[in-house]
Copies of this chain bind each other. A is one copy, B any other.
Amino acid sequence: MSLQQETATTSATRDLSGDALIQEVVDSFGGASPERFRVVMQSLVRHLHAFAKDVQLTEDEWLAGIQFLTRVGQTCTDTRQEMIMFSDTLGLSMQVIGINHPATDGSTESTVFGPFYVGGAPTYKNGDDIANGAPGEPCYMSGIVRSTSGAPIPGAILDIWQADSDGLYDVQRPELEAAQARGKLAADDQGRYWFWTVKPEAYGIPTDGPVGELIRGANRSPMRPGHVHAMVSAPGYKTVTTHVFLSGDQYLDNDVVFGVKQSLVGEFVRQEPGTAPDGRTLETPFYVAEFDFTLSPESTNGTSTNGHA
């Protein structure tokens, strides 16, 4: 290469702005590996720059965004994932779920994972009370875990977590030493599960952090309709991460994270004091909810990464 060519080549990499800058940044990711990482990063760069250009983002706004994202990251702890909550409130989480779970095969639909899952939940057996002291009206939940073929899935694992009657998850109560309204249990040999918990109440997502400021600035309601989280899995089946929503909840059509699917609204039926479905006698009103989960075999389409049928 002659000196003249060199100069011509290099001068194109200075004084970059607008579309020329975008192209240079896109090109800088041209050697990214693996290929999928390259594709994702180049698309991210194009869309991020297009956003800045479309709104003619000011430097103060850019800095506010930097500081906001920094604070979102720093608000995250072992028991609170503010960045997921940010994604949830932007509807991005549901967009990704829609892309990956078209749910056209009859399996239970998916919804947001949410920011309050923690690993290592206590193990229970069917019939136990996973509330473990959480405040709220008693609620008996039961159902069957089935394959899309209709066959029950014995031993399917249900990982359950939910808010109590104060709208709080156990991890939002730092004084607790044990999990409440959170637990794992296995379906029986006929795919049946049943347990006691408390009625899940509607709640506002935490507004004491940066995402709360965003929601207030947008004059949006922070409320979510009451729901029980369930992550249902079994060997050979795709795991379903979903909610069972509280029927009749006033926020079913105004969920701050856009997560409600009609098929996930369970029937929570109020009962007067008396005998529960498992024979237990209650002296206070209680709720009975029945919800079946349906899993699809891992081999039903080509998107499984497990590599076995």
**A260 (CB) vs chain B CBs: closest residue:** B14
Q: What sequence of 0s and 1s flags, for each residue 5-38 of chain A, a beta carbon within 8 Å of any chain B beta carbon? A: 0000111011111100110110011011100111
CA distance A49 to B92 in the complex (A): 6
Contact with B along A42-55 (1 / 0, CB 8 A): 01110111111111
CA–CA, A21 and B89, complex, Å: 12
Contact with B along A134-147 (1 / 0, CB 8 A): 00000000000000
Judging by beta carbons under 8 Å apart, are A49 and B254 in contact?
A: no
Q: Is the CB of A95 within 8 A of B218?
A: no
Contact of A301 with B by CB under 8 A: no
Which A198-242 residues sit within 8 Å CB-CB of chain B? 214, 217-220
B residues less than 8 Å from A99 (CB atoms)? 52-53, 56-58
Kindly state whether residue A132 has any CB partner on chain B within 8 Å.
no
| Chain A contact surface mostly | helix
Instruction: Assess whether A59 is in contact with B100, with CB atoms less than 8 Å apart.
Output: yes
A-B contact pairs, 5 of them (CB 8 A): A28-B218, A36-B61, A48-B92, A49-B95, A73-B74
**Most chain B Cβ neighbours within 10 Å, of A14, A53, A59, A254:** A14
A95 and B47 contacting across the interface, CB-CB below 8 Å: no
Q: Are B76 and A31 in contact (CB under 8 A)?
A: no
With A29-B218, A47-B47, A70-B76 as contacts: A21 and B98 at CB distance below 8 Å: yes
Please determine whether A17 and B90 come into contact, CB atoms closer than 8 angstroms. Answer: no
Q: Does the CB pair B83–A61 fall under 8 Å?
A: no
Known: A32-B218, A81-B66. A21 touches B54 (CB 8 A): no
Given known contacts A33-B219, A74-B74, A94-B21, A50 and B53 CB-to-CB distance under 8 angstroms: no
Does A124 touch B at the CB level, under 8 Å? no
The distance from the CB of A58 to the nearest CB of chain B, in whole angstroms, is 6
Residue of B whose beta carbon sits closest to that of A23 = B91
A contact residues vs B (CB 8 Å cutoff): 9-11, 13-18, 21-22, 24-25, 28-29, 31-33, 36-41, 43-45, 47-59, 61-62, 66, 69-74, 76, 81, 83-84, 87, 90-100, 214, 217-220, 252-255, 258, 260-263
Query: A34 — nearest CB in chain B belongs to which residue?
Result: B217
CA distance A92 to B25 in the complex (A): 9
Return A251 CB to nearest CB of chain B, in Å.
10
Residue of B nearest to A33 (CB): B219
Q: Is A98 a contact of B218 with CB atoms below 8 Å?
A: no
Alpha-carbon separation in the docked complex, A54 to B22 (Å):
17
B44 touches A51 (CB 8 A): yes
Question: Which 7 interchain pairs have the tightest Cβ spacing?
Answer: A73-B73, A17-B98, A25-B91, A10-B253, A31-B219, A47-B51, A32-B218
**Which of chain B's residues has its CB closest to A245's CB?**
B14
Bound state CA distance, A98 and B33, in angstroms? 30
Please tell me which one of the listed residues B11, B41, B73 contacts residue A69 in the complex, with CB atoms under 8 A apart.
B73
- Taking a contact as CB atoms under 8 Å apart, the answer to whether A98 and B18 are in contact is yes
- Determine the chain B residues whose CB is within 8 A of the CB of A97 once the complex forms: 17, 59
